[in-house]
A and B are shown apart, each in its own frame.
Chain A
Amino acid sequence: MSGNFLDVGVSGLLTTQAAINTVSHNIANANTEGYSRQVTEIDARSPQFTGGNFIGTGAELGAIKRIFDIATTLELRSNLSNSSQLEVYLEQASRVDNLIADASTGLSGALQNFFSAVQGVADDPSSIAARQVLVSQGDLLATRFNNLVEQLDAQTRALNTGVRSAAEEITALGKSIAELNVKIAAASGGGQGQPNDLLDQRDRMINKLAELVDITTLQQDDGSINVFVGKGQALVVGATANSIIARPKTNDPKNMEIVLQAGPGSVVITESLSGGKLGGFLRFRSEILEPAFNVIGRVALGVAEQLNQQHQLGMDLNNNLGQLFYTDINDPALMSRRVVNDSGNTGTADIAIQIDDTSLLNDANYDLRFQAGNYVLTNLSTGGVVASFPPPGAVPATISIPSEGFSVVINSGAAAAGDRFGVFPTRSFGADISMQISNPNYIAAALPVNAQMSSSNTGSGAISGVSVTDTTTPQFTNVPNDLDPPIIFEFTSPTTFNVVDANTLAVITGPVGGFVPDQENNMLALAGLNYGYEVTLSGAPATGDTFNVSYNNNGVGDNRNMLLLGDLQQANALDNGTSNFQQAFGRLVGDVGTRTQEAKINEKAAESLLNQVKDRRESISGVNLDEEAAKLIKFEQAYQASAQVIQVARTIFQTIIDSTR
């Protein structure tokens, strides 16, 4: 009977000790990340039935529980994924945002300076100094394109490193979670107590995983948790963990793809991944980085095509026809570089892309696949099939894809069923463009054709214009620095004329009718001659009047071609004839800016959501030192009281012992 309350006192001591221990554990872990505060549950022992009454027998330790809310934990995970995805996206996007709009790295300033230099030559076509400025500015413009691509390339490399390390981290975390699963399953075997700190540790791992990629989890009966990534691909199942591997894409080695390796089997899951750091990298790559490469490449293609075309219609200071100003957009090596053979291809097809019309190009990459006996070309931005064609009867063959502005050229060989080709029409030209002219004399400021009225003319007919459309005709190429032949328009009546070879004086064609006095008349078109140039005559020529058309030798003061080159600054040469160079590039700046701004706003929102959930979790599971202090005081007092009980028991025993002396 009396031994009983000593026992009660001891039970109080023991349970209070455990409670003080838990409080100390809480205080010790007050700043531990992901720690859930623990509470000691103390129960009353079963009473003893003695003499018709239930007599209390003291306290016993119920359980040490962590305070934890599953809904908040899941919410925290999805917010972690979302927030870290936006954080990575924003960080990467801001770099591009700064790069393309900056005056010293963007394109706008270089375009302005280049066209100012064109105007400079137009103002004074025979000035070597002005021409030298144009050569330098032309070179700078090309270099600016190159530098932009270089910067984006560097960012791609950094991104690939980020993707690879994220994949490695995911794999490592998966392994740790699987190991913890084993420990937790073993520890949860008996009793009602839980391995609280192991559970916290696993939750922390899963949260870290969520920061890397969006995941879903499934709690098992034995306490282990299965983790899935993407669209239900298992990363951790019980004690088993699979690997996530980043490797170069087979049809685009510049970029990484993500593979889930489960035992011997592997599956590409790049497209199904979202969220987290990895999701942020991948989204940035497809929304900003790839389009940026392509827009810059496309503007470079437009600049090169337009300038080359116009420059080649001109005549330089040495009386030669204009040469290429920039890299030929359809140089065979460049054409081949626009297509990547998938490393798994078994066929022999050698395929290239020829740019036909830069104004029709868009910013997409394409996938060309040989399947069911046909080549199928798919736009990777829209996912739509843009063309499907059977293999050509004979190679080399050029298959025009008019809607996309380019042609597929099959140089040699044939594709095998299932062969794939990555098609990147615009991506690389920003890096490839370079100035082809280094000698200022080679700037073609003049037009190669000059037309004069004869001074013996008596009518009012006058040359109102000369235009050059093609300098590859025999009339230009047969004889260097001359027309073959120079021609004379000789009027046989006020409305008819002969076209005469100025060298032999033989009539080439005529009399040609249809000349309308006092109106613009395109003479070569009237005569049905396609010489690559056109002479426009107005006024009313008299019978016998002649007009001489000859090569513009020594026309060093002629700036007509420079004026035409200058007009290209304002010409809507891109985006289906709706944008000039500056506007096409400006749209990239706008697009990237808008996406970055969006990311900024979303990131702020996601961060504030994340903070709210973190606060909620802290509010539930976090340690409050004041609370723990209060508990400490409370349990200290309880401990002292239990000790007092033992003291009382000792005194009582002493009293009894003393009375028997």
Chain B
Amino acid sequence: MRISSNQLSTSGLREIINRQAELREIQLKMATQKRFLTPSDDPVAATSVLNLETEISLFEQYNRNIDLAKGANELEEGVLNSVTNTLFRVKELLVGLGNGVYGQNELEAIKIEIEERLNEMVGYANTQSANGDYLFSGFKTKVQPFVQDASGNIVYQGDQGERSIRITTSTLVGVSDSGFEVFEDVFDGNKKFVVSADATNTGTGSITIGSYQAPPAVLAEPYDIQFLGPNSYQVVGVNSAAVIVPPTPFASGDTISFNGITVSVDGTPAAGDNFYVDPSSRQSIFNTLKDAIAMVDNFVDTPQGRAIYTTQLDVALANFDNAFEKIDQVRARVGTRLNAIESGRDSNEQLIFTSKGLLSKLKDLDVVEAASELTRQTTVLEAAQASFVRVQNLNIFNFLR
């Protein structure tokens, strides 16, 4: 093939320039440690890289959420722990109130500690987080959840909102419980009904908190257990005024059963004494303690007074146990959430690990391979340059002298 002199130099130069371009690319890859420099080098990988990076940043955000969720739940767990410790002490105090040999003075001393413990409890319920948000006021985090109203009752100011945050693509985890849920959502008595003795009773009868049988028997209207004499009683529906249980003979310790309700009365009631059975309603732990305090305040050290006191104390203990149980439930739930948070973190970490591995495969340069490629390209370029100079010097005109 015929070759023109021009061709000889341009094609030689072209090859040198091509080699230089390849060398530059390899050098840039080495400098950036990337397998490809622009999306067009590998469009499929480039799109996957964008998606993977988004995914990784999302999971990392979830892990930050997890840190927060963990902090919030641990704070709540800590507060509930303190509440529980206080409740243990209160339980001792309440049991102490049941000591039959204690007189007015001893009871008064216990009552004063209960009052203190009550304040302590309200303090816990009004705990604020580091940024000033109340832990137990639902969505109204700037509103103090528990305050004393004009009549001395501790009332809830928050709402029933419970905040949650996202910790994995599919999981939301709770980070707060409302004060209603923790302290207020407690049914009194045996959670089905609550008993009481009329304050004007003249006998020494006291009533147990009783138990409730499952349906078909239905608890409905409030009931009045009326003693017709020490040995006879009847049960009347308060709303309907209907006689539910006709006059029946009675002895101390007898059980009285009707409409699913089973209670027993101890001691000796007098004619005209009344015991009431009301459907359970919600009573906060604070009001339960308030009731206990009022009970001591109203204590009259007579056989009649002691009988009324016994009934009230039984109910107070039952109410207290219900509240304690509720707080235990919430604590268990917080524990479950902390577990969910940990397993959420594990799953996120796993996904981040997998995605990062994939990302690295798509994105990162194989340095060893690139280095050997660099060496090879350098050698090729040097050879091209050397041969170019040699070839360019070959010309007949060199000899025409």
The chain A residues found within 8 Å of chain B, CB to CB, are 30-31, 37, 93-94, 97-98, 100-101, 106, 108, 111-112, 115-116, 119, 122-127, 446, 450-453, 455-458, 463, 552, 554-559, 563, 566-567, 569-570, 582-583, 585-587, 589-597, 599-600, 611, 615, 618-626, 629-630, 633
- Measured in the bound complex, the distance between the Cα atoms of B138 and A565 in whole Å is 21
> Quick one: closest A residue to B143, CB to CB?
A554
Which residues 45-96 of B sit at the A interface, judged by CB distance below 8 A?
A: 46-47, 50-51, 53-54, 57-58, 61, 64-65, 68
- Measured in the bound complex, the distance between the Cα atoms of B216 and A531 in whole Å is 40
Whether a CB of chain A sits under 8 angstroms from the CB of B165 is yes
- Given the interface pairs A557-B176, A589-B50, A629-B396, the reply to whether A597 lies near B4 with Cβ below 8 Å is no
Greatest chain B CB density within 10 A among A37, A552, A559 is at A559
- Given the interface pairs A555-B139, A556-B139, the reply to whether A458 lies near B160 with Cβ below 8 Å is no
- Measured in the bound complex, the distance between the Cα atoms of B43 and A101 in whole Å is 10
The residues of A that contact B14 with a CB separation of less than 8 Å are 611
Whether a CB of chain A sits under 8 angstroms from the CB of B5 is yes
Residues 133-161 of chain B: 1 if any A CB is under 8 Å from the residue's CB, otherwise 0?
10001111111000000000000100111
The residues of A that contact B57 with a CB separation of less than 8 Å are 112, 116
The residues of B that contact A623 with a CB separation of less than 8 Å are 4-6
- Contact of B46 with A590 in the complex, beta carbons under 8 Å: yes
- Measured in the bound complex, the distance between the Cα atoms of B51 and A124 in whole Å is 27
- Measured in the bound complex, the distance between the Cα atoms of B156 and A384 in whole Å is 66
Whether a CB of chain A sits under 8 angstroms from the CB of B184 is yes
Whether a CB of chain A sits under 8 angstroms from the CB of B343 is no
The residues of A that contact B282 with a CB separation of less than 8 Å are 455-457
Greatest chain B CB density within 10 A among A123, A456, A586, A611 is at A123
Tell me which of B34-42, B237-245, B296-304, B352-360 binds A.
B34-42
Within the complex, the shortest CB–CB distance from B60 to chain A, in Å, comes to 8
The residues of B that contact A626 with a CB separation of less than 8 Å are 5, 395-396
- Contact of A554 with B396 in the complex, beta carbons under 8 Å: no
Which residues 1-50 of B sit at the A interface, judged by CB distance below 8 A?
A: 1-7, 11, 14, 38-44, 46-47, 50
The residues of B that contact A591 with a CB separation of less than 8 Å are 43
- Contact of A123 with B169 in the complex, beta carbons under 8 Å: no
Greatest chain B CB density within 10 A among A452, A590, A592, A630 is at A590
- Contact of A556 with B5 in the complex, beta carbons under 8 Å: no
- Contact of B279 with A30 in the complex, beta carbons under 8 Å: no
Whether a CB of chain A sits under 8 angstroms from the CB of B131 is yes
Whether a CB of chain A sits under 8 angstroms from the CB of B259 is no
Greatest chain B CB density within 10 A among A31, A93, A557, A592 is at A557
- Contact of A625 with B5 in the complex, beta carbons under 8 Å: yes
A contact patch SS: helix
- Contact of A458 with B281 in the complex, beta carbons under 8 Å: yes
The residues of B that contact A621 with a CB separation of less than 8 Å are 4
Whether a CB of chain A sits under 8 angstroms from the CB of B280 is yes
Across the A-B interface, give the 6 residue pairs with the lowest CB-CB distance, nearest first.
Answer: A622-B4, A593-B43, A557-B141, A593-B39, A596-B40, A555-B139
Within the complex, the shortest CB–CB distance from A601 to chain B, in Å, comes to 10
Residues 206-227 of chain B: 1 if any A CB is under 8 Å from the residue's CB, otherwise 0?
0000000000000000000000
- Measured in the bound complex, the distance between the Cα atoms of B229 and A334 in whole Å is 90
> Quick one: closest B residue to A31, CB to CB?
B6
- Measured in the bound complex, the distance between the Cα atoms of B159 and A596 in whole Å is 58
- Measured in the bound complex, the distance between the Cα atoms of B4 and A558 in whole Å is 82
Whether a CB of chain A sits under 8 angstroms from the CB of B164 is yes
- Contact of A119 with B61 in the complex, beta carbons under 8 Å: yes
The residues of B that contact A618 with a CB separation of less than 8 Å are 3-4, 6-7
Given contacts A555-B140, A594-B43, 6 further A-B contacts (CB under 8 A): A94-B40, A108-B50, A115-B61, A552-B159, A554-B142, A593-B38
- Contact of A456 with B41 in the complex, beta carbons under 8 Å: no
How many residues on chain B are close to A (CB under 8 Å)?
Answer: 59
- Measured in the bound complex, the distance between the Cα atoms of B166 and A595 in whole Å is 39
- Contact of A587 with B47 in the complex, beta carbons under 8 Å: yes
Whether a CB of chain A sits under 8 angstroms from the CB of B163 is yes
Within the complex, the shortest CB–CB distance from A474 to chain B, in Å, comes to 24
The residues of B that contact A124 with a CB separation of less than 8 Å are 68, 131
**21 chain-A/chain-B pairs, Cβ below 8 angstroms:** A93-B40, A94-B40, A97-B40, A106-B50, A119-B165, A122-B165, A124-B68, A126-B131, A452-B159, A556-B142, A558-B161, A558-B163, A586-B50, A589-B50, A590-B44, A591-B43, A593-B47, A597-B40, A611-B14, A622-B3, A633-B400
Which residues 249-303 of B sit at the A interface, judged by CB distance below 8 A?
A: 279-282
- Contact of A554 with B140 in the complex, beta carbons under 8 Å: yes
Which residues 155-190 of B sit at the A interface, judged by CB distance below 8 A?
A: 156, 159-161, 163-166, 169, 172, 176, 180, 184-185
- Contact of A455 with B184 in the complex, beta carbons under 8 Å: yes
Within the complex, the shortest CB–CB distance from A144 to chain B, in Å, comes to 14
- Given the interface pairs A556-B141, A557-B161, the reply to whether A629 lies near B400 with Cβ below 8 Å is yes
The residues of B that contact A455 with a CB separation of less than 8 Å are 156, 180, 184-185, 282
- Measured in the bound complex, the distance between the Cα atoms of B142 and A312 in whole Å is 23
- Measured in the bound complex, the distance between the Cα atoms of B41 and A94 in whole Å is 10
Within the complex, the shortest CB–CB distance from A348 to chain B, in Å, comes to 47
Within the complex, the shortest CB–CB distance from B173 to chain A, in Å, comes to 11
| Contact among B51, B64, B133, B281 for A126, CB-based, below 8 A | B133
- Measured in the bound complex, the distance between the Cα atoms of B184 and A583 in whole Å is 48
> Quick one: closest B residue to A127, CB to CB?
B131
> Quick one: closest A residue to B178, CB to CB?
A452
The residues of A that contact B139 with a CB separation of less than 8 Å are 446, 450, 552, 554-558
> Quick one: closest B residue to A452, CB to CB?
B160
The residues of B that contact A119 with a CB separation of less than 8 Å are 61, 64-65, 165-166
The residues of A that contact B184 with a CB separation of less than 8 Å are 455
- Contact of B140 with A556 in the complex, beta carbons under 8 Å: yes
- Given the interface pairs A453-B160, A586-B50, A619-B3, the reply to whether A557 lies near B40 with Cβ below 8 Å is no
- Contact of A108 with B38 in the complex, beta carbons under 8 Å: no
> Quick one: closest B residue to A451, CB to CB?
B160
- Measured in the bound complex, the distance between the Cα atoms of B400 and A488 in whole Å is 114
Within the complex, the shortest CB–CB distance from A492 to chain B, in Å, comes to 16
- Measured in the bound complex, the distance between the Cα atoms of B138 and A463 in whole Å is 14
The residues of B that contact A93 with a CB separation of less than 8 Å are 40
The residues of B that contact A629 with a CB separation of less than 8 Å are 395-397, 400
- Given the interface pairs A589-B47, A615-B7, the reply to whether A620 lies near B279 with Cβ below 8 Å is no
- Measured in the bound complex, the distance between the Cα atoms of B54 and A570 in whole Å is 10
> Quick one: closest A residue to B71, CB to CB?
A123
- Measured in the bound complex, the distance between the Cα atoms of B187 and A456 in whole Å is 10
The residues of B that contact A452 with a CB separation of less than 8 Å are 159-160, 180
> Quick one: closest A residue to B68, CB to CB?
A123
- Measured in the bound complex, the distance between the Cα atoms of B142 and A621 in whole Å is 90
> Quick one: closest A residue to B39, CB to CB?
A593
